[in-house]
């Protein structure tokens, strides 16, 4: 396995071309479109379409490519792609998407190439940016190392730094993480940091892939990976924008208004490419939804809005949204989540199920959340045999079957040397 930027290259031809290109670029950096940042290790920053095209066709010959992106979205609604890092089995490069005249088409073609596995760590935001920049393209097939780590004993939501440390023993310097990726030229420190996000990803991928094959757990990740590659995960539906808000509304009528307001704000933020809060803060949305003003001058009475807001064009739009919400038939509005207290019996059952879940997860080295979430546990506790993932397939084998036995009194939990142990009880 190639383990560093200067690692050996096994494929004849490709390696010669790379060396030639590097040597050439040292002499004529502007002509080749490849700017060497270091002579050793040779870190290449691609700034032209032709260099990108050559590199991507070499990368397309490999089994996989590790991918990472750096972007900025503090001042905008849509993320601004600032840097792309790629590492195949034999080479690694940085692509500068802000370089003048560069066309990222070869990169997007590589992302769409079904014969090359695209390896990401916590892929969602990277996929989202490819999806929005390349007109709905979703890189396939995908291997997400953060998800794979969940069935290889690394817990849930493990960070890249921790995974690198645990698998390769290396310590990464993350101090450049939140620097300004849109500035040019980028500092050497930024580039070293950026390339590290894909070079070690290769080692992690190889390690996790072997582990999954050895344990036969590849299919355990199917649902997670399917969600990651589903267009619906990335499509923007302003009418669903309310779902990311807290339900700080008093009734269904107020919720209907909140839905309209959130949709209006989402469209405005998208059209103007500014963060949502720049259009209207969340607090103001809740306030308006609960007060339901039907004339602009009423908006002045809300403490969450500034003086003079009532005279703006936005005020008129907001009043229209409020009216649309009020006109809606409350029966078509989703029910507010009711916080009905659980029975004491169900609460105790859930507590025991949690202990069993933790013990099963630890024994099989799987992150508990991948087996069952709190909704699963609540339903197992209160229904006979609910239709939940935890009672199907491998999850049932690891945990679900025992959970039902525990409920029926056929399983007991005890401790052995500090570890939780589930014991089958003899049938009485
Ligand atoms: Zn990164």
What confidence tens digit (pLDDT) does each residue in 369-381 have? 999 999 899 999 9
- pTM (two decimals): 0.79
pLDDT the model gives residue 40 = 43
**What span, in angstroms and rounded, lies between the C-alpha atoms of 428 and 426?**
6
pLDDT band, very low/low/confident/very high, at 12 (cuts 50, 70, 90): very low
CA of 1 to the centre of ligand 1 (A): 22
More confident call, 338 vs 157? 157
Residue-wise pLDDT for 61-115, tens only, equals: 999 999 999 999 889 999 999 999 999 999 999 999 999 999 999 999 999 999 9
> Residue 285: pLDDT above 50?
yes
CA of 107 to the centre of ligand 1 (A): 17
Q: Which superfamily does 14-233 belong to?
A: Ribonuclease H-like superfamily/Ribonuclease H (3.30.420.10)
Q: Which pair of tokens denotes residue 89?
A: 């089995």
CA of 69 to the centre of ligand 1 (A): 6
CA of 83 to the centre of ligand 1 (A): 9
pLDDT band, very low/low/confident/very high, at 199 (cuts 50, 70, 90): very high
- Counting Cα atoms < 13 Å in the Cβ hemisphere of 299 gives 23
pLDDT the model gives residue 162 = 95
> Residue 383: pLDDT above 70?
yes
Signed CA dihedral, 390, 395, 397, 399: sign only: negative
Average pLDDT over residues 43-70: 96
pLDDT band, very low/low/confident/very high, at 11 (cuts 50, 70, 90): very low
Average pLDDT over residues 292-307: 85
Tell me what the pLDDT averaged over the chain comes to: 87
pLDDT band, very low/low/confident/very high, at 309 (cuts 50, 70, 90): confident
CA of 285 to the centre of ligand 1 (A): 34
pLDDT band, very low/low/confident/very high, at 13 (cuts 50, 70, 90): very low
> Residue 21: pLDDT above 60?
no
Q: Could you check whether 238-332 and 344-424 share the same CATH topology?
A: yes
Contact 203, 168 (CB under 8 A): yes
> Residue 25: pLDDT above 80?
no
CA of 416 to the centre of ligand 1 (A): 43
> Residue 30: pLDDT above 80?
no
CATH fold, domain 344-424, is DNA polymerase; domain 1 (1.10.150)
CA of 178 to the centre of ligand 1 (A): 10
**What span, in angstroms and rounded, lies between the C-alpha atoms of 143 and 233?**
16
> Residue 10: pLDDT above 70?
no
Closest by Cα among 387, 353, 392 to 220: 392
CA of 163 to the centre of ligand 1 (A): 14
Choose the CATH number for 238-332 among 1.10.150.80, 3.40.50.720, 1.20.1250.20, 3.20.20.70: 1.10.150.80
Residue-wise pLDDT for 106-160, tens only, equals: 999 999 999 999 999 999 999 999 999 999 999 999 999 999 999 999 998 999 9
pLDDT the model gives residue 175 = 79
> Residue 342: pLDDT above 90?
no
Residue-wise pLDDT for 204-221, tens only, equals: 999 999 999 999 999 999
pLDDT the model gives residue 20 = 37
> Residue 303: pLDDT above 60?
yes
CA of 182 to the centre of ligand 1 (A): 14
pLDDT the model gives residue 291 = 94
pLDDT band, very low/low/confident/very high, at 258 (cuts 50, 70, 90): very high
pLDDT band, very low/low/confident/very high, at 355 (cuts 50, 70, 90): very high
Indicate the domain borders of the chain.
14-233, 238-332, 344-424
Q: Which pair of tokens denotes residue 267?
A: 């469209």
CA of 179 to the centre of ligand 1 (A): 11
CA of 106 to the centre of ligand 1 (A): 21
CA of 130 to the centre of ligand 1 (A): 14
CA of 349 to the centre of ligand 1 (A): 43
Average pLDDT over residues 29-51: 67
């Amino acid at each position: 396995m190639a383990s560093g930027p200067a690692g050996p290259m096994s494929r004849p031809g490709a390696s010669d071309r790379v060396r030639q290109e590097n040597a050439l670029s040292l002499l004529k950096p502007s002509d080749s479109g490849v700017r060497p940042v270091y002579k050793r290790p040779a870190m290449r920053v691609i700034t032209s379409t032709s260099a990108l095209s050559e590199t991507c066709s070499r990368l397309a010959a490999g089994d996989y490519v590790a991918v990472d992106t750096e972007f900025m979205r503090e001042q905008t609604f849509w993320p601004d792609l600032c840097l792309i890092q790629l590492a195949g089995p034999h080479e690694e490069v940085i692509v500068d998407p802000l370089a003048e005249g560069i066309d990222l088409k070869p990169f997007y073609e590589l992302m769409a190439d079904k014969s090359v596995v695209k390896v990401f760590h916590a892929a969602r935001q990277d996929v989202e940016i490819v999806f929005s920049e390349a007109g709905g393209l979703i890189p396939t097939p995908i291997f997400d190392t953060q998800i794979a780590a969940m069935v290889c004993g690394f817990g849930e939501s493990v960070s890249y730094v921790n995974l690198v440390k645990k698998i390769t023993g290396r310590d990464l310097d993350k101090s450049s993480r939140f620097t300004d990726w849109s500035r040019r030229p980028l500092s050497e420190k930024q580039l070293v940091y950026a390339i590290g996000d894909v070079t070690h990803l290769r080692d992690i991928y190889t390690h996790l892939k072997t582990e999954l094959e050895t344990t036969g757990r590849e299919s355990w990740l199917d649902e997670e990976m399917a969600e990651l590659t589903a267009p619906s995960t990335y499509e923007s539906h302003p009418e669903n924008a309310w779902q990311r808000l807290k339900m700080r509304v008093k009734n269904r009528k107020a919720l209907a208004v909140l839905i309209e307001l959130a949709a209006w704000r989402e469209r405005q933020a998208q059209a103007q490419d500014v963060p949502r809060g720049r259009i209207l803060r969340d607090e103001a949305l809740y306030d308006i939804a609960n007060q339901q003003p039907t004339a602009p001058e009423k908006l002045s009475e809300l403490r969450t809005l500034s003086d003079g807001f009532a005279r703006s064009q936005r005020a008129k739009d907001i009043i229209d949204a409020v009216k649309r919400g009020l006109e809606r038939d409350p029966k078509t509005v989703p029910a507010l989540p009711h916080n009905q207290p659980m029975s004491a019996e169900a609460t105790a059952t859930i507590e025991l199920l949690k202990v069993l879940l933790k013990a099963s997860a630890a024994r099989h080295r799987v992150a508990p959340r991948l087996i069952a979430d709190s909704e699963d546990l609540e339903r197992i506790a209160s229904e006979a045999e609910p239709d939940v993932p935890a009672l199907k397939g491998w999850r049932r084998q690891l945990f679900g079957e025992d959970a039902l036995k525990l409920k029926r009194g056929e399983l007991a939990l005890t401790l052995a040397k500090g570890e939780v142990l589930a014991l089958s009880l003899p049938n009485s």
